């Protein structure tokens, strides 16, 4: 009894239907969620190459002790821009890209709720990023680190305009992020297909939904801090200058009140992508949708109560540190439940080792490893030892690269056929996976040891102490393996676009609605849409003899 | 000086309050259903613990952290349990009241949050303990202000919990709204906890200049090393982290129930209903 | 949908103002002793009057909205104008207060109190200004006859924003003007 | 068996103070637990991948996505682990950081890219290299002259941020004599990399001898060249930033030079202290340590030689 209904109520009717071969102007003026999503993804890849290039420059400088390949000013600008780029201009646009492209398709809508706001958000992100990078031409990029601590960010200590570009650029990009988040929330609330309840949306959509609230709550704290630092720098106010009564710690509180939620903003969409990937390639429903979905809300709420774990060493006292250590450890509970749920999804399945699935499996192990080092930091006395060393750098690259970026790669391989109509080259993809994974672990596993033997982070060079040179060199080798892998990825994308295998509508035997609409859907996504009655609507269509809505599954 | 365990205390006003709660429960049709009665009794025991036990004694006389602990127990544990204990006997007024509250959720929300904030405004807070308003444990007199403070916290706590765990199941807030309702309250509790945690000494003066009438001060300051500053920080942090954890647990519990609902649905239900 | 969007915008703005207010408390209440003296330069009664003006503008907007829903476009225009005038009076009051403070050498760069006071009230004033711009757009639209049928949600949407700006001012007024009177701040 | 014994170099896991051994005990316990957990997860994943891989013609797996008992177990297991960790954490925090009492034994002030040291008990001032007695409970207080720095010597355990406007402190009880290397561990601007720490942990008598030697005023010039150097030092504005005890120069913008040549390294551990390096530094500071807060002086070679000769006498 699967009615296929006209989709007129499943979203706005399109303004006009564009033809496929669009010219540049049509891209620029586009308000179509798929085109904007694609532009976000391209922006993200562009900045991944730039930020990765900066990482390679850093690793080159650090390959040997007492190196003079980069000057200290250059190195500091580069690591600051690397961190800022990767967090704000790679992770965020990638999330918004996949979200924009996939959320309407997965909930059976024809577009986002506010198409013009959507375009506005994209261009704000682009302009913010452009402004950040313009600083290289305008007297020096920001060089106070991605968290830009006061009072180093004050005019007395950073008289170049770099920090101003940092503040204004991130404010503008932040406005874009907030606009995008509002758009996602309204879209998911109002544009779901007939019958799809809010507790039935695909997990990726749910994660984007939670993520959007996280963005709405976290970014204003950063915006307030950035506004204050500009007040200080331009109008001689005294927020963060302790000499005139300000407080250096206020900046840290405000930044991390944003910063810790931000790392989960980067992580949650990848959780969503992996949830889709695990259930598709295990050919089984996800294990305990309820747990995965509600634990992500727990993570979102908890993430606002743990920011002091970045400030354990500033001397707030044992009481404050102890409570925040406890809160930070608590996050391991909802996260651990997720990891176990994904393992339980694979258990008893019939696992197809496609490239997205390989990324997902590598992610599980790497994320557990990075999570355990995170819990290690939550043990306050150990954090006193390890904070601000390469051990921290290793922890968060295991999370950001081995967690979030692996998720984005998995999403790229998983949805590439939907976006372009072609499969992303399997052979090159396998090369890319192994090179990147091995390179990644080579780079960052050894950095844990570097931290343990006493190497602080953010040093432009280091003395020739025993072991430092060798390990840094190994780390640099790994980084160049990742660089090679990234080149292979770019080649693979170009090759697949030109001469890839034509994918068809449903290459992975998917279970959610984005595989129901055409490959490379036109201006209007759905002409017809099935009545949604379960969490796997496309499965129900394919298996009328055993649909989900007859047998409750999770 | 006796052992701490022996410092239990109730005055006439609080006894009256406790009795009237039982009375109200009876009038609302309580003492019938066994499962509900257990919940109510659990809440009642917690209520007594936080207004009559040595915890309360410590909170009145020595430790701000104990004071906050009893707040958290009162508002976040006792009050919701009392509400959970009320059976749904299909009474029309009850249904109407629940529906009205859920239609205007900002009312119970504001009452819960504002009353809690009100009692922590330093002026008000310090006034609670002034000699003019006798302290529990002193001979004679009813500590009216202090009692009012407890009673108002319990009542607004009950009001606050009503839309989330109220007796009429159909009239509770929809899950997503309930989670937002709880999270928003959690944020404002956190802000209060944060303000107290990072406040310098000299704001909440009662606990800094303790007249050690019962002789426990050396034990607290000396043996346990709880200085006034640590005490104030613990107080703020208890409001902040365990407090938030309770809101969070409730939210996740609601979500789990919602996600585990049977999703079989009849043909063509309106898909906007749960907004 | 528009209303949901503006509610989300308000949600995020709440956190922005929370950050500023927490900074204010952290630095002015808990900070050095200079601030306590400078707070005394604030005129609570004058600003109280302007606060009343701003709050009544919320009320007049409410009347405008009710009239609109009834289809009474003429009344809508009148009450919109009144709302805008009240908002403008409030901004004038702010400017007046700034003028007096600056005359007393309390400026953004002079002290911690000045820094926090001008930033917090300035951002709020900016939001009032944006609200006035939105109201003037509404007025123009209603003069052009866009609101002749009472189907649009635009007015309610702007209304949510305008009431939010007022609510923020209540909190700011409490924190900046009222509370210090009741706190024995360190002097 | 520590990683350090495998690699034979200094590391976090080699404790040279009571604080560090407290922390490392906890670290060791956690590491064992974490390794077990990681092994459990990884091996289980490998097992699942082998056991449940998609074989040709394998049927659709059973479409089931819930198991209430397993869900409960997944919840209980992390909760118990966390509870154990938390208890251990709180206990160790309070053992490592006790409340401060009494006068600090050493006050360390962080400057942009060098350390100032002051011993309140004896009034001794020094820079960049720290001498500390072993087997004593030392209270060390930290001040910052500009931005946030951070004190860290891996073998001594906990770090402490050096925050402007706050006086942080740590307790330290060194258990082994020897030289220990640390570094500023909070990004503090261009030359953060060259703001390193060198600690000489000495027994009581050696430490006292060092204090006595540093209490003395700086050596006076003993020959003509160093006399000229001293005059140059006094006339060429060096004294507006540096202190040399017993002379009119008393500033503390730059390091105390009273006993400069008794140090083993210069510029906060950047290079060994010797005449050649001093020559290079005085001739062109910005070339040796770019962005350091000491300006380039345009000196003739003779002037540089004289100043350096004078400085080498300051033992
Ligand atoms: C995507 C990003 C991301 C993620 C997901 C995390 C996740 C976590 N992080 Fe991390 N973190 C960062 C990004 C991230 N972090 C960044 C960028 C920094 C440094 C910023 C800077 O200084 O520049 C940082 C720094 C950082 C610090 C401060 C270190 C310092 O500077 O001194 C701390 C301290 O507590 C911490 C803790 C944690 C914890 C407890 C988690 C937890 O969420 C992890 C939970 C996961 C697991 C625990 C694994 C799976 C669980 C199981 C298999 C169950 C069983 C396990 C147990 C019971 C333990 N992180
Ligand atoms: C999402 C976040 C993210 C990601 C993906 C990465 C990816 C990488 N990061 Fe980064 N990193 C951060 C976030 C991230 N990082 C942050 C927040 C900081 C802290 C900054 C701070 O302290 O303020 C940091 C700091 C940081 C440091 C420490 C700097 C220091 O403390 O001094 C190092 C050092 O090795 C490093 C290395 C790398 C490497 C090798 C990669 C690799 O994975 C990158 C792989 C990608 C490529 C290699 C792209 C390939 C490009 C090409 C093939 C084209 C080549 C083009 C040219 C050469 C122009 N990162
Ligand atoms: Cu000083 Cu880094
Ligand atoms: Cu964090």
Q: What is the pLDDT of residues B28-73, one digit of tens each?
A: 777 777 788 888 888 888 988 888 887 887 877 788 888 889 888 9
- Contact partners, residue A287, CB within 8 Å, separation at least 6: A341, A342, A344, A345, A347, A554, D65, D66, D67
Nearest CA to ligand 1 atom 17: A396
Give contacts of A178 with chain C, Cβ < 8 Å: 12
Residue C13 has pLDDT above 80, yes or no: yes
Query: How many Cβ atoms from other residues are within 10 Å of residue B186's Cβ?
Result: 23
Question: How do residues D228-284 score in pLDDT, each as one tens digit?
Answer: 888 888 888 888 899 888 888 888 899 999 888 889 999 988 899 998 999 999 988
* Contacting partners of chain D (3+ CB pairs under 8 A): A
> How sure is the predictor about A551, in pLDDT bands with cuts at 50, 70 and 90?
low
Nearest CA to ligand 2 atom 41: A55
> How sure is the predictor about A19, in pLDDT bands with cuts at 50, 70 and 90?
very low
Give contacts of D81 with chain A, Cβ < 8 Å: 332
Question: How do residues A190-237 score in pLDDT, each as one tens digit?
Answer: 888 888 888 888 999 999 999 999 999 999 999 999 999 998 888 888
How far lies D84's CA from each of B19, D87, D135, in Å? 42, 5, 32
CA of D216 to the centre of ligand 4 (A): 49
How far lies B33's CA from each of B38, B168, C29, in Å? 9, 15, 52
Tokens linked to D69: 């008992």
Residue A100 sits in a domain whose CATH number is 1.20.210.10
Axis-axis angle for helices A318-330, A332-346 (nearest 10)? 20
**How far is D174 from D176, CA to CA, in rounded Å?**
6
CA of A54 to the centre of ligand 2 (A): 7
Q: Which tops the pLDDT comparison, C41 or A285?
A: A285
Say what the pLDDT of residue D10 is. Answer: 53
User: What pTM, to 2 d.p., does this model score?
Assistant: 0.92
Tokens linked to D302: 């003779």
On whether any CB of chain B is under 8 Å from the CB of C26, the answer is yes
- In this complex, do C116 and A236 lie within 8 Å of one another by their Cβ atoms? no
Residue A302 falls inside a structural domain: yes
* C99: closest CA of chain B, how far (Å): 31
Say what the pLDDT of residue A170 is. Answer: 94
A residues 508..527 contacting D (CB < 8 A): none
> How sure is the predictor about B1, in pLDDT bands with cuts at 50, 70 and 90?
low
CA atoms within 13 Å, Cβ hemisphere of D175: 12
Q: Which helix (H) or strand (E) holds C56?
A: helix C44-70
Lowest mean pLDDT across A251-255, A384-388, C42-46, D23-27: C42-46
Residue C166 sits in a domain whose CATH number is 1.20.120.80
Would you give the distance in Å from CA A543 to the centre of its chain? 34
Residue A148 falls inside a structural domain: yes
Residue B196 has pLDDT above 70, yes or no: yes
**How far is D174 from D134, CA to CA, in rounded Å?**
5
CB of A59 sitting under 6 A from ligand 2: yes
Ligand number nearest to the C-alpha of A367: 1
Percent of residues, chain A, with pLDDT higher than 70: 93
Going from N- to C-terminal start, the domains of chain D cover 18-51+68-96, 106-215, 224-312
> How sure is the predictor about A158, in pLDDT bands with cuts at 50, 70 and 90?
confident
Inter-residue contact A441 to A494 (CB < 8 Å): no
Say what the pLDDT of residue A52 is. Answer: 94
* Domain carrying residue A174: 31-551
Say what the pLDDT of residue B141 is. Answer: 52
Question: How do residues A21-50 score in pLDDT, each as one tens digit?
Answer: 556 777 777 778 888 999 999 999 999 999
Residue C187 falls inside a structural domain: no
Residue C39 falls inside a structural domain: no
Going from N- to C-terminal start, the domains of chain B cover 4-274
Question: How do residues D118-142 score in pLDDT, each as one tens digit?
Answer: 999 888 999 999 999 999 999 999 9
Inter-residue contact B233 to A320 (CB < 8 Å): yes
Three-class secondary structure of residue D182 per DSSP:
strand
Closest CA to D268 of D113, D144, D125, D107: D113
CB of A397 sitting under 6 A from ligand 2: yes
Q: Which of C14, C16, C124, C154 to mutate to test the interface with A (most CBs of A within 10 A)?
A: C16
Closest CA to A428 of A498, A364, A372, A379: A498
Inter-residue contact D189 to D214 (CB < 8 Å): no
Residue C25 falls inside a structural domain: no
A residues 335..364 contacting D (CB < 8 A): 336-337, 339-341, 343-353, 361, 364
Residue B9 has pLDDT above 70, yes or no: yes
Let me know if the fold of D106-215 is the same as that of D224-312.
yes
Say what the pLDDT of residue B37 is. Answer: 85
- In this complex, do A216 and C119 lie within 8 Å of one another by their Cβ atoms? no
How far lies A123's CA from each of A133, A172, A310, D178, in Å? 15, 10, 32, 59
- A12-27 as b/e, with b when 16 or more CB fall inside 10 Å? eeeeeeeeeeeeeeee
Say what the pLDDT of residue A441 is. Answer: 95
Query: How many Cβ atoms from other residues are within 10 Å of residue D66's Cβ?
Result: 18
**How far is D221 from C35, CA to CA, in rounded Å?**
53
Q: Which tops the pLDDT comparison, C112 or A220?
A: A220
Say what the pLDDT of residue C16 is. Answer: 93
> How sure is the predictor about A11, in pLDDT bands with cuts at 50, 70 and 90?
very low
Closest CA to B204 of B145, B117, B121: B121
Closest Cβ–Cβ partner in B123, B187, B200 for C30: B200
Question: How do residues B226-271 score in pLDDT, each as one tens digit?
Answer: 888 888 889 889 988 888 899 999 999 999 888 887 654 433 333 3
Residue A440 has pLDDT above 80, yes or no: yes
On whether any CB of chain B is under 8 Å from the CB of C25, the answer is yes
Inter-residue contact A237 to C23 (CB < 8 Å): no
CB of D44 sitting under 6 A from ligand 1: no
Lowest mean pLDDT across A181-195, A265-279, B139-153: B139-153
- In this complex, do C182 and B122 lie within 8 Å of one another by their Cβ atoms? yes
Residue C96 falls inside a structural domain: yes
Closest CA to A512 of A61, A205, A236: A205
Inter-residue contact D175 to D16 (CB < 8 Å): yes
Give contacts of A190 with chain C, Cβ < 8 Å: 1, 4
- Provide mean pLDDT across the span A525-546: 76
Measured between CA atoms, the residue of chain C closest to residue B122 is C183
* C183: closest CA of chain B, how far (Å): 6
CA of D111 to the centre of ligand 2 (A): 29
Give C177's DSSP letter.
Answer: I
> How sure is the predictor about A366, in pLDDT bands with cuts at 50, 70 and 90?
very high
What mean pLDDT value characterizes chain D? Answer: 88
Question: How do residues A123-133 score in pLDDT, each as one tens digit?
Answer: 999 999 999 99
* Domain carrying residue C114: 2-20+44-178
CA of A86 to the centre of ligand 2 (A): 7
Say what the pLDDT of residue A553 is. Answer: 64
On whether any CB of chain A is under 8 Å from the CB of B245, the answer is yes
CA atoms within 13 Å, Cβ hemisphere of B100: 7
Measured between CA atoms, the residue of chain B closest to residue C19 is B191
Q: Which helix (H) or strand (E) holds B15?
A: helix B12-27
Closest CA to A494 of A424, A550, A397, A393: A424
Number of domains within chain A: 1
Percent of residues, chain B, with pLDDT higher than 90: 5
CB of A393 sitting under 6 A from ligand 2: yes
Say what the pLDDT of residue B136 is. Answer: 45
Lookup result for tokens 């709050």: C55
Lowest mean pLDDT across A17-26, A407-416, C163-172: A17-26
Of C139-143, D59-63, D84-88, give the range with the top mean pLDDT: D84-88
Would you give the distance in Å from CA A340 to the centre of its chain? 22
Residue A18 has pLDDT above 60, yes or no: no
Residue C33 has pLDDT above 70, yes or no: no
Tokens linked to D41: 């997860």
- Provide mean pLDDT across the span A251-270: 94
Give contacts of A189 with chain C, Cβ < 8 Å: 4
Nearest CA to ligand 3 atom 1: D149
Inter-residue contact D157 to D140 (CB < 8 Å): no
CA of A314 to the centre of ligand 4 (A): 15
Q: Which tops the pLDDT comparison, C55 or A30?
A: C55
At the topology level, CATH places domain D224-312 in Immunoglobulin-like (2.60.40)
Say what the pLDDT of residue B2 is. Answer: 65
Measured between CA atoms, the residue of chain B closest to residue A10 is B271
Q: Chain B to chain C, count of Cβ pairs less than 8 Å apart? A: 24
> How sure is the predictor about A82, in pLDDT bands with cuts at 50, 70 and 90?
very high
Ligand number nearest to the C-alpha of A364: 1
> How sure is the predictor about A241, in pLDDT bands with cuts at 50, 70 and 90?
confident
Measured between CA atoms, the residue of chain D closest to residue A548 is D63
Measured between CA atoms, the residue of chain C closest to residue B184 is C11
- Provide mean pLDDT across the span B211-228: 75
Nearest CA to ligand 2 atom 17: A83
What mean pLDDT value characterizes chain B? Answer: 79
Closest Cβ–Cβ partner in D52, D79, D161 for A315: D161
Q: Which of A186, A210, A294 to mutate to test the interface with B (most CBs of B within 10 A)?
A: A294
Query: How many Cβ atoms from other residues are within 10 Å of residue D99's Cβ?
Result: 12
At the topology level, CATH places domain D106-215 in Immunoglobulin-like (2.60.40)
Say what the pLDDT of residue D7 is. Answer: 44
> How sure is the predictor about A513, in pLDDT bands with cuts at 50, 70 and 90?
confident
Interstrand relation of D129-133 and D138-144 (parallel, antiparallel or unpaired): unpaired
- Provide mean pLDDT across the span B162-170: 83
Q: What is the ipTM of this complex?
A: 0.91
On whether any CB of chain C is under 8 Å from the CB of A9, the answer is no
Q: Chain A to chain B, count of Cβ pairs less than 8 Å apart? A: 90
* A278: closest CA of chain C, how far (Å): 32
Q: Which helix (H) or strand (E) holds D249?
A: none
- In this complex, do D62 and A368 lie within 8 Å of one another by their Cβ atoms? no
**How far is C183 from A540, CA to CA, in rounded Å?**
65
Residue C183 has pLDDT above 70, yes or no: no
Residue D276 exposed, middle or buried by CB count within 10 Å (0-12, 13-18, 19+) = exposed
> How sure is the predictor about B137, in pLDDT bands with cuts at 50, 70 and 90?
very low
Residue D301 has pLDDT above 80, yes or no: yes
Q: Which tops the pLDDT comparison, B101 or A8?
A: B101
CA of A81 to the centre of ligand 4 (A): 20
Nearest CA to ligand 2 atom 16: A83
Say what the pLDDT of residue A519 is. Answer: 67
Residue A22 falls inside a structural domain: no
Q: Which tops the pLDDT comparison, C89 or A535?
A: C89
Closest CA to A403 of A145, A178, A106, A86: A86
Question: How do residues C88-105 score in pLDDT, each as one tens digit?
Answer: 999 999 998 888 888 888
R_g of chain C computed on alpha carbons: 18
Number of domains within chain C: 1
Say what the pLDDT of residue B142 is. Answer: 60
Say what the pLDDT of residue B275 is. Answer: 35
Give contacts of A239 with chain D, Cβ < 8 Å: none
**How far is B113 from B124, CA to CA, in rounded Å?**
16
CA of D31 to the centre of ligand 1 (A): 16
- Please tell me the total number of residues recorded for chain C in this structure: 187
The β-bridge partners of D115 are D110
Closest CA to A328 of A379, A363, A258, A291: A379
- In this complex, do A238 and C109 lie within 8 Å of one another by their Cβ atoms? yes
């Amino acid at each position: 009894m699967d009615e296929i209904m006209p989709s007129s109520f499943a979203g706005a009717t399109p303004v006009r239907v564009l033809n496929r071969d669009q010219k540049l102007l049509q891209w620029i003026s586009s308000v179509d969620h798929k085109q904007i999503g694609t532009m976000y993804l391209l922006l993200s890849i562009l900045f991944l190459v730039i930020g990765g290039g900066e990482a390679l420059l850093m690793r080159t400088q650090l390959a040997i002790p007492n190196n003079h390949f980069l000057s200290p000013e250059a190195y500091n600008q580069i690591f600051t821009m690397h961190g800022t780029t990767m967090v704000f201009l790679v992770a965020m646009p990638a999330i918004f890209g996949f979200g924009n492209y996939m959320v309407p398709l997965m909930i059976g809508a024809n577009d986002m709720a506010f198409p013009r706001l959507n375009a506005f958000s994209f261009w704000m992100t682009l302009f913010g990023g452009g402004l950040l990078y313009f600083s290289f031409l305008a007297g020096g990029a920001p060089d106070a680190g991605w968290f830009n601590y006061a009072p180093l960010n004050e005019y007395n200590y950073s008289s170049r305009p770099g920090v101003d570009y940092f503040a204004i650029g991130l404010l503008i990009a932040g406005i874009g992020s907030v606009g995008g988040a509002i758009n996602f929330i309204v879209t998911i609330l109002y544009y779901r297909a007939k019958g799809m309840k809010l507790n039935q949306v695909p997990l990726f959509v749910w994660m984007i939904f939670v993520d959007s609230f996280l963005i709405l709550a976290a970014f204003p704290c950063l915006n307030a801090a950035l506004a204050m630092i500009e007040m200080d720098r331009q109008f001689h106010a005294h927020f963060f200058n302790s000499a005139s009564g300000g407080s250096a710690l206020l900046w840290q509180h405000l930044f991390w009140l944003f910063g810790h939620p931000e790392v989960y903003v980067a992580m949650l969409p990848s959780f969503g992508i992996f949830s889709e990937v695990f259930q598709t390639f295990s050919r089984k429903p996800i294990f305990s949708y309820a747990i995965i979905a509600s634990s992500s809300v727990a993570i979102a709420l908890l993430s606002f109560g743990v920011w002091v774990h970045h400030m354990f060493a500033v001397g707030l006292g044992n009481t404050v540190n102890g409570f925040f250590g406890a809160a930070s450890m608590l996050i391991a509970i909802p996260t651990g439940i997720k990891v176990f749920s994904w393992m339980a999804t694979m258990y008893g399945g019939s696992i197809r080792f496609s490239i997205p699935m390989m990324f997902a499996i590598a992610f599980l192990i790497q994320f557990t490893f990075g999570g355990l080092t995170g819990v290690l930091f939550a043990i306050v006395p150990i954090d006193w030892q390890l904070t601000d060393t390469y051990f921290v750098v290793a922890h968060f690259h295991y999370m950001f690269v081995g967690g979030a970026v692996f998720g984005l790669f998995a999403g790229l391989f998983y949805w590439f056929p939907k976006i372009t109509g072609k499969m992303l080259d399997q052979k090159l993809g396998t090369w890319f996976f192994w090179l990147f994974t091995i390179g990644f672990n080579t780079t960052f596993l050894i950095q844990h040891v570097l931290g343990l033997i006493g190497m602080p982070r953010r040093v432009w060079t280091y003395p020739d102490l025993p072991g430092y040179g060798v390990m840094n060199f190994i780390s640099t080798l790994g980084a160049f393996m990742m660089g090679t892998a990234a080149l292979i990825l770019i080649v693979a994308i170009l090759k697949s676009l030109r001469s890839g295998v034509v994918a068809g509508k449903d290459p992975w035997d998917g279970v959610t609605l984005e595989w129901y609409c055409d490959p490379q859907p036109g201006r209007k996504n759905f002409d017809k849409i099935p009545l949604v009655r379960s969490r796997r609507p496309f499965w129900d269509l394919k298996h009328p003899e055993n649909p989900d809505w007859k047998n409750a599954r999770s | 000086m006796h052992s701490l365990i022996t410092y239990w205390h109730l005055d006439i006003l609080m006894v009256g309050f406790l009795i009237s709660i039982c009375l109200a429960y009876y009038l609302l049709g309580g003492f019938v259903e066994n499962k509900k009665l257990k919940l109510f009794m659990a809440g009642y025991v917690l209520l007594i613990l936080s207004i009559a036990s040595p915890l309360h004694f410590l909170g009145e006389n020595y430790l701000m952290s104990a004071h906050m602990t009893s707040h958290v127990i009162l508002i976040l544990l006792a009050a919701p349990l009392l509400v959970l204990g009320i059976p749904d006997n299909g009474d029309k007024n009850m249904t109407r009241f629940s529906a009205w509250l859920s239609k205007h959720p900002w009312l119970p929300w504001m009452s819960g949050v504002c009353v809690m904030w009100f009692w922590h405004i330093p002026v008000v807070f310090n006034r609670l303990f002034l000699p003019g308003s006798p302290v529990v444990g002193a001979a004679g007199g009813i500590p009216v202000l202090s009692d009012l403070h407890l009673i108002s916290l319990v009542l607004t706590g009950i009001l606050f919990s009503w839309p989330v765990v109220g007796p009429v199941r159909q009239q509770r807030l929809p899950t997503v709204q309930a989670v937002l309702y709880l999270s928003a309250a959690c944020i404002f509790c956190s802000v209060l906890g944060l303000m107290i945690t990072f406040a310098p000494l000299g704001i909440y003066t009662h606990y800094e200049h303790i007249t050690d009438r019962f002789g426990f001060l050396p034990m607290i300051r000396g043996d346990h090393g709880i200085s006034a500053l640590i005490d104030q920080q613990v107080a703020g942090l208890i409001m902040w982290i365990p407090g938030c954890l309770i809101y969070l647990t409730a939210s996740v519990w609601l979500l789990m129930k919602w996600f585990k609902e049977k999703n079989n649905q009849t043909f063509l239900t309106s898909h906007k209903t749960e907004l | 949908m528009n209303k949901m969007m503006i509610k989300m915008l308000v949600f995020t703005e709440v956190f922005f103002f929370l950050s500023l207010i927490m900074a204010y408390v952290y630095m002015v209440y808990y900070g050095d002793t200079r601030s306590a003296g400078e707070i005394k330069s604030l005129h609570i009664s004058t600003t109280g009057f302007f606060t009343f003006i701003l709050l009544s503008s919320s009320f007049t907007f409410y009347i405008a909205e009710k009239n609109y829903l009834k289809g009474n476009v003429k009344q809508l225009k009148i009450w919109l104008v009144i709302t805008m005038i009240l908002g403008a009076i409030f901004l004038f009051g702010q400017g007046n207060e700034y003028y007096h403070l600056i005359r007393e050498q309390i400026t953004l760069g002079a002290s911690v109190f000045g820094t926090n006071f001008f930033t917090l009230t300035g951002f709020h004033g900016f939001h009032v200004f944006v609200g006035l711009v939105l109201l003037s757009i509404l007025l123009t639209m209603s003069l052009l006859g866009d609101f002749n049928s009472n189907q649009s949600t635009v007015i309610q949407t702007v209304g949510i924003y305008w009431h939010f700006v007022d609510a923020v001012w209540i909190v700011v007024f409490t924190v900046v003007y009222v509370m210090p009177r009741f706190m024995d701040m360190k002097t | 068996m520590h990683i350090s014994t495998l690699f034979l170099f200094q590391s976090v896991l080699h404790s040279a103070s009571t604080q560090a051994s407290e922390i490392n005990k906890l670290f060791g316990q956690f590491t064992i637990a974490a390794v077990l957990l990681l092994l459990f997860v990884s091996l289980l994943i490998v097992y699942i991948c082998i056991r449940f891989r998609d074989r040709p013609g394998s049927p659709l797996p059973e479409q089931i996505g819930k198991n209430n008992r397993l869900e409960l177990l997944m919840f209980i297991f992390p909760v118990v682990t966390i509870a154990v960790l938390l208890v251990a954490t709180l206990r160790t925090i309070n053992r490592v950081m006790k409340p401060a009492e009494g006068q600090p034994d050493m006050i360390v002030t962080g400057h942009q890219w060098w350390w100032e040291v002051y011993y309140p008990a004896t009034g001794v001032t020094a820079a960049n290299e720290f001498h500390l007695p072993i087997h004593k409970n030392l209270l060390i207080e930290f001040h910052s002259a500009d931005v946030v720095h951070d004190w860290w010597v891996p073998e001594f355990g906990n770090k402490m941020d050096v925050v402007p406007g706050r006086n942080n402190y740590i307790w330290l009880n060194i258990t082994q004599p020897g030289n220990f290397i640390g570094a500023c561990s909070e990004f503090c601007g261009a030359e953060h990399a060259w703001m390193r720490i060198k600690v000489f942990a000495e027994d009581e008598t050696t430490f006292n001898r060092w204090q006595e030697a540093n209490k003395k005023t700086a050596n006076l010039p003993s020959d003509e060249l160093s006399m000229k150097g001293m005059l140059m030092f006094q006339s060429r504005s060096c004294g507006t930033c540096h202190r040399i005890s017993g002379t009119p120069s008393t500033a503390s913008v730059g390091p105390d030079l009273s006993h400069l040549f008794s140090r083993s390294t210069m510029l906060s551990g950047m290079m060994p202290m010797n005449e050649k390096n001093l020559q290079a530094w005085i001739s062109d500071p910005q070339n040796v340590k770019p962005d350091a807060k000491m300006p380039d002086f345009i000196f003739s070679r003779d002037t540089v030689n004289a100043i350096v000769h004078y400085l080498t006498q300051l033992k």
